[in-house]
Amino acid sequence: MSDEPNVTIIKDGEPRSSGGTWVIAIVLVIALIVGVMFFMNRSESSNAKDNAIAEAAKDVGNAAQDVGDAAQKAAKDATK
């Protein structure tokens, strides 16, 4: 007989992962959700700013119209 030991290795199916893949997947999903919320919030902020500017421009236009109407009325009253 030989002096080398007889070793038998038994594999029980596929090796199992430690769950690290799931942790990474969950972190990526959370990062994706946060990113989407950030860009949506930024877009809403930009829209609100644009709407405020448009409303201010409309108010300036209305004020200019009022000034024009008052000037025409004053000119008519001055010629009477």
Query: Residue 75's pLDDT is what?
Result: 82
Rounded Cα gap, residues 17 and 25, in angstroms: 14
pTM: 0.43
Q: Is residue 58 part of a domain?
A: yes
Q: What pLDDT band is residue 1 in, cutting at 50, 70 and 90?
A: low
Query: Residue 2's pLDDT is what?
Result: 65
**Residue 9: how many CA atoms within 13 Å on its side-chain side?**
2
DSSP summary character for residue 14: S
| Geometric angle at alpha carbon 35, from 33 and 39, rounded to 5° | 120
Per-residue pLDDT tens over the stretch 13-71: 776 667 788 888 899 999 999 998 888 888 788 888 888 889 999 989 888 888 888 88
Question: What average pLDDT does the segment 7-15 reach?
Answer: 77
| Full domain range(s) for residue 42 | 17-80
Distance of CA 5 to the CA centre of its chain: 65
Number of separate domains in the chain = 1
Show Cβ contacts of residue 63 under 8 Å, excluding neighbours closer than 6 positions: none
Q: Is residue 80 part of a domain?
A: yes
